[in-house]
Structure 1
């Protein structure tokens, strides 16, 4: 739970400090890389670390992730330029790729589906409280001290989390030879990196029809095609293709990706929108974003009351419907910058996500046995991170294209309104995938964790 708090704080603490960082380091057009680089590094390492957790145990994986994350945070406190800070965020993302899926995997190992309804509420509450503190702390640091303290605060939190894991989590894992899917990991990393580079730089760094864009998009697509071929032949693939033949898993992956796109559209762009267009301070903008995570844990804690008696689809479809209504409201209020309006809409969207996100993970976990639980958990986490990374890149491209060379509040409003349409599109994808879930799914009995 403490490691989940660490990830939750980091996920939301940076957004409210973007204006301060840009004022100090410059390079406004490159600031979306602060989010997309972190998310890319996290996305491509989640399935790798999840596979390693099945091979060598959860404990060494989560401790390694915490150490790498703390290292990236320490380096970021002294970053002299936007480029260096982006590299530090990539290091943080590598650590997060190990830490984030382990909490969910461990919960899936030691609790039944019925018990997980309550445990997921606890985890969601930890995430919600930490996410509320994140924007507030980020706003306070950037407004009254320095944005560099946003990264420094991760150091004591990370060290405390590591001590708690060492002292309180014990496991015994059978050791046997394994073959790590290095080729698949490299192909996946190369493919996503090239696609993201093309999305972020297209229309700003170079023309969409230029040779650079063609190389990025065609090269990325080719690398992902090779990745699929490699995975089909690998002895222990980083992503098992047979899992993607299960209807429930396919829908869970799409749902997770859509959730990632929705959340990042709000947490990455709303603070700048409110600060530049509505005149909000970083602290107030942080409170508005925090509203998203206030309703989320309350809904998640009660989702079990729906999916235990009525099935996963009932809870997920209900949540997706509420999220869609919330994103429609978001589009309608976009040209009327107001902290109160955005806060109210964020509460609605957060409530919908609470009924959707955790049940989606539990549904995927319950469809397989213990030997594949970490991989399935990692697959949904990977999808959410990848969806977040792609969404931030797309939103950043849209924002830069709409703003162009203009300055002032009006271009920010226009750009954010366009981004909100992208968030609505992600919500529609979420809604379709939710209603396409199998109506009933019998949970696989939980086998004892090693």
Structure 2
């Protein structure tokens, strides 16, 4: 296909000659990038605290993990394509497309009338977010040197701090006093401002050349990952794990993903080039992104549910408990920028892995009588760890290549994080659903007759619905056991992050170009 290739590289070590002409626009572009990042960050924090209210309104507790997984799945499988398009067409058009689709999905979410419709609308949002997040990180890599990125990463990470306060607060207020639907409509003005600023301040000079887009590889990756998530989320709920549909879904997913690898080996311009899996820095950084995504969304999905369903808090309080995680993250990201310039990317991230494991253990120690401030404190420690792990590894990955491949490696890292979030949420959801289904199936005689069918019995205690009956207490205890098992699984995933970091070399030389 005919497409432009950017020849004037924005600021940074890979393109200092072009940096002079664009330096005056870096400030406004950074603000627009921060707003675009806020578009995704705000939506993530708001939806997490509104899930109980959504379930109370639309039903479908067993389906609520899909609100996260389908969003993350469509985001993950489109990221490699966007990374390729960014290196071919430029960052600007890809970012505009992502913002437009994300806002369309937000409108569809706001008017959804059933859980399946809301899930489908979240998929549209994910397609847009698949462009926004990696393009934001890629543009920062283009505009700033490794030394400057230490400071700029703190600015961008600060967006999560603002979203962590505004998002849960708005989610709680809307859920309590207005409607959860407004959590999606607030994206519209933020996205419009970000798009306008990028249109006015970010420009690229291009010249035409020919490229081939790997649509076959993209299709195999999309369908394979979708079947894998489907099998994980519906196994033990819609069908038993050993049933024909479950085995068929897992088998077909594996076959398609193997076929994807074979196609990528022969593709002229693969959507996910296999060379990114042959460098220790890239492999380690992508594995860390996988872990970060799983831990982040696992806690975001189930901590508000634990706070409301087990501790009996309202949506606003549950939102602030989760906000502690996204407050700790940008604080650590800002500090890590100074540290990794002195001791290296890997050692800085290893500090973070210690905090992550500690925070996960603290979360797993929460019980039915724990005060909500303990939940918030555990989330804060986890956020510190994730901030120290994520920022250094992203910069390390970007620093191994030049401009012409930075979009690909950044998109691959974001793909790994989104895939980790999607698969992690699916696995954690499967653990929670299996635990609840087992306990409800073996409920005491005086309770069993009052339980609705399936795990949707949890709607009795979610969304601010008080229930002090024997049935309500049993449902609350069951949800406490289910979330405890999920938190234990998060501990195991956090420990894997330590192993992933050991795979990375101790010292990563900035801008070591691949052959």
Please give the range of the TM-score, normalised by the shorter of the 2 chains: over 0.9
- For residue 494 of structure 2, the aligned residue among 427, 430, 434 is 427
Query: Kindly tell me: are residues 286 and 176 of structure 1, through their superposed partners in 2, closer, same or farther at Cα, counting changes over 3 Å?
Result: same
**1:411: which partner in 2?**
478
Residue 305 of structure 1 and its aligned partner are, at CA, apart by 1.9
CA contact (8 A) 1:11 1:131 kept: no
Tell me if 1:270 matches 2:337.
Answer: no
Residue 173 of structure 1 and its aligned partner are, at CA, apart by 2.5
Q: 1:71, 1:47 → 2: CA distance? A: 21
Query: Structure 1 length normalisation: TM-score?
Result: 0.97
Which of 406-415 and 437-446 deviates more? 437-446
- For residue 261 of structure 1, the aligned residue among 269, 279, 294 is 294
**1:293: which partner in 2?**
326
Tell me if 1:365 matches 2:398.
Answer: yes
Q: 2:309, 2:315 → 1: CA distance? A: 10
**1:18: which partner in 2?**
51
Which of 406-415 and 146-155 deviates more? 406-415
Unaligned runs of 5+ in 2: 1-33, 444-456, 458-474
SS in 2 for 1:237: coil
Residue 423 of structure 1 and its aligned partner are, at CA, apart by 0.6
**1:384: which partner in 2?**
417
**2:172: which partner in 1?**
139
CA contact (8 A) 2:328 2:381 kept: yes
CA contact (8 A) 1:4 1:103 kept: yes
CA contact (8 A) 1:335 1:417 kept: no
**1:443: which partner in 2?**
510
- For residue 174 of structure 1, the aligned residue among 193, 196, 207 is 207
- For residue 339 of structure 1, the aligned residue among 372, 381, 389 is 372
Q: How many residues align?
A: 446
Query: Kindly tell me: are residues 175 and 130 of structure 1, through their superposed partners in 2, closer, same or farther at Cα, counting changes over 3 Å?
Result: farther
SS in 2 for 1:355: helix
**1:282: which partner in 2?**
315
1:175-223 per-position Cα deviation (integer Å, ceiling 9, x unaligned) = 2111000000000001100011111111010011111011110000000
CA contact (8 A) 1:33 1:86 kept: yes
CA contact (8 A) 1:306 1:314 kept: no
1:32-76 per-position Cα deviation (integer Å, ceiling 9, x unaligned) = 111100000000001111110000000000000000011111111
Q: 1:303, 1:329 → 2: CA distance? A: 23
CA contact (8 A) 1:112 1:445 kept: no
Which of 214-223 and 158-167 deviates more? 158-167
Q: 2:221, 2:73 → 1: CA distance? A: 11
Q: 2:259, 2:207 → 1: CA distance? A: 32
**1:165: which partner in 2?**
198
- For residue 307 of structure 1, the aligned residue among 317, 323, 340 is 340
Tell me if 1:94 matches 2:127.
Answer: yes
1:44-123 matched pairs, under 5 angstroms: 44-123=77-156
Alignment root-mean-square deviation, CA: 1.2
- For residue 241 of structure 2, the aligned residue among 179, 184, 208 is 208
Q: 2:343, 2:70 → 1: CA distance? A: 39
**2:30: which partner in 1?**
none
CA contact (8 A) 1:56 1:175 kept: no
**2:187: which partner in 1?**
154
Residue 265 of structure 1 and its aligned partner are, at CA, apart by 1.1
Q: 2:512, 2:148 → 1: CA distance? A: 12
Residue 335 of structure 1 and its aligned partner are, at CA, apart by 4.7
CA contact (8 A) 1:334 1:420 kept: no
Residue 382 of structure 1 and its aligned partner are, at CA, apart by 0.3
Tell me if 1:395 matches 2:428.
Answer: yes
Q: 1:342, 1:176 → 2: CA distance? A: 54
Q: 2:199, 2:390 → 1: CA distance? A: 29
Residue 445 of structure 1 and its aligned partner are, at CA, apart by 7.3
Q: 2:283, 2:512 → 1: CA distance? A: 21
Residue 310 of structure 1 and its aligned partner are, at CA, apart by 1.3
Query: Structure 2 length normalisation: TM-score?
Result: 0.85
